[in-house]
Structure 1
Amino acid sequence: MNNRNEKKGDILIVDDIPENLQLLFTMLTKQGYEVRRVLSGKQALNVVKVEPPDLILLDIRMPELDGYEVCQRLKADETTQNIPVIFLSALNETFDKVTAFQVGGVDYISKPFQLQEVIIRVENQLNLLEMQRKLEEKNKELELVNKELEAFGYRVSHDLRNHLNVINSIIYLLSKKHGEKLDNVGLKNLKILEDESERMAEIIEDLWRLSESKSNYLDISLESFDLSGVVRKIVDRLKIKMKEKEKIVIIESDVYATGDEGLIKIAVENLLDNANKFTNKTEQPRIEFGQLQQQDQTVYFVKDNGVGFDTKKGNNLFTPFQRLHQEQEFPGTGIGLATVKRIIELHGGEIWYDAKVNQGTTFYFTFGE
């Protein structure tokens, strides 16, 4: 491609009538375009192979190879298939518009040529081409960023595992060498450290698997498991965070789900952690987990009677780092619900909510069949 900083675009005109070539050449060069001219379809194909233009103006009625055939050959070649082709046709010629678009044409210009029409149609296609190129460049940049993030995620995961191994070693030494010196409270706290370290290892592993995913192509493990049992274990851990406030926690029994247990555990834990956090200032806090049936589909829910929120402000609720409450009032990172949504969508499900200010929030979610 020629220097686009000096020229608005590189255009190849293909027409077997020299007068038409000269007319279009004059029109377009005056507008700042770089223009090349050939008299036949064969010449056009040869020129395009050597130096592809940005746009081709292609006459339909030509000897040997007509415009339709030339366009078909261009679109069949990977190196030229993305070059936009505008057909040229006289008003008195039989012009099959359907065929023109079927073989890959993007537009057409009628003869005799009107300057304004030619310029507008050419500019439209070159603008579209420029937008496409910019989009391709952005996609390449995003691919590079994604690769860098993958490498960063791997490094972080590796480093966190190393630090956890050190912590686990210290816990083990404390338990084996000094366990007899600890009273019941000390042993209980040591057990909490051990359990939390194990849980952290699970989270690192599951989040690493999640970060590896490409859109919906994560190879997740689909197995049926006791979701009620998972919720009970999460609530047992959350009781440490519940401080001195007594909270009513209702867990429906015999609730089963099919999906990747590790990832779903992360999603549900985020929802329950939010329910716990946002009921800390409620006088009689209540958290509930269960299921219901809607149109032959199982819908799971996590419900609380906490501070709630105005649903009119919830448009970006599942966007990373978006928060509806002040950090000083309710600490958090703002990525929990984004993670929840991604995990549920990876399972082919949906998540939505119902909330009222000072009356609580209910999150409903499903998993695909």
Structure 2
Amino acid sequence: MDDRSLNGNILIVDDKADNLRLLSRMLGQRGYEVRSAISGSAALMAVRALPPDLILLDINMPAMNGYQVCEELKACEQTGAIPIIFLSALSDTADKVKAFRIGGADYITKPFQVEEVLARVENQLTLRQMQLKLQRSNQKLMQEVQQRKRAQDILQDSEAALRQRTQEMEAALEELRLTQMQLVQSEKMSSLGQLVAGVAHEINNPINFIHGNLRPARDYAEHLLMLIQAYQKSAPTPPELQAQMDSIDLDFVKQDLPQLLESMQVGIDRIMGIIRSLRTFSRLDEADIKTVDLHDGLDSTLMILSNRLKQEDNSDGVEIVKCYGDLPRVECYPGQLNQVFMNILTNALDAIEDENSQRLAQGRSPQLGQITISTRITEAQTVQISILDNGPGMPDSVQQRLFDPFFTTKPIGRGTGLGMSISYRIITERHRGTLSCTSTLGQGTEFVITIPLQQSQSQPQSLTMHGREEAGLSPEPC
């Protein structure tokens, strides 16, 4: 069926004009494109001029009856596939058998029943459409078979040469892949440095503004609280004012406001320390070695993570156990060490929380998460910080790649794979120390940081943003 009509092109052949008008009107109202021929010879001319999708052919016609028209059409290759529905007042079985034997597709007995004619026409046009579709599919399949056969012949003829060429291409691709990985790794680290520099610069300005205004705000708040206290002592409190003071819980506000401002000050100081560390990574400026109490850095990091830790007034969160030794003040880069603490503690919290989420999904009770932080002085006069969790632990395959850049076991969007790599370089390159990991599946993970009490003044003053292989370094065995 072509695009000449939405429903199909039908040729009606009958020597009776009334029958032609009736069938033409009936089919035309259903959207078919209808042509008519009043004799057998006229029908043959119409078919040769424009082959229809279906022919309604009367049997009893003068000069050339329907059987003769059908036989001539079926004998021609171009018209032999056109379906023909015979129209006749003859109801004898022999007539019907002859009609089907010479190639008729269907038979309609006069007088016509509208619904029967429409149903049989629609059925034949549907069959015709399916036949044409099948023919096109078969032709396409034959073409594909021939193309594949030709390709197979060519492949067999050049098999030896192709095998050699394939081996050469595989070797070239492997070399290209290795080179590309090195270039991508180098570009990522370079881009990271630029990104960190930009982020640190953009954050630094508003943070400096907040930091500069926070101390005056604390002084103003202190003065106002002193004024309120003096007013309460020296002047009677009207009932309306007392009711307002009770509604806002003034005593609690006076106690909590200084603590809130102090927490904000600690948080701002921590953010500024992180910004200084980020600027150091991007080599915009250099951080100075300072003599500090490492416990202060650990405590400030825990404060930033306090929303995920167990508090005294509730049982949620991970419990922190501090086993601090008697440490002297240590020469180090405190902002960078705090970043290492943050990376290790965050990973431990993620592991414990993910394990408990899986336990809940399996219908099991979550376990109490616990992180133990221990510090001590070693016999070699170094400081050792141990961070031990009771999470799910790691397999050997993960431990072996733990400090590789961009390696992460977290889903996309939750981790960049750079935290432990950067932490490793902070400890080994900047502090001439060691960072090791010991983990057993089902028993938890322990990270041990060891750094000297004093830092040499001859050590590098900035972290390189390159891989450990370029720096001649390798991770501690886990």
- TM value normalised by structure 2: 0.39
Looking at CA atoms only, which structure, 1 or 2, has the larger radius of gyration? 2
Normalized per residue, the structure richer in helix is: 2
Normalized per residue, the structure richer in strand is: 1
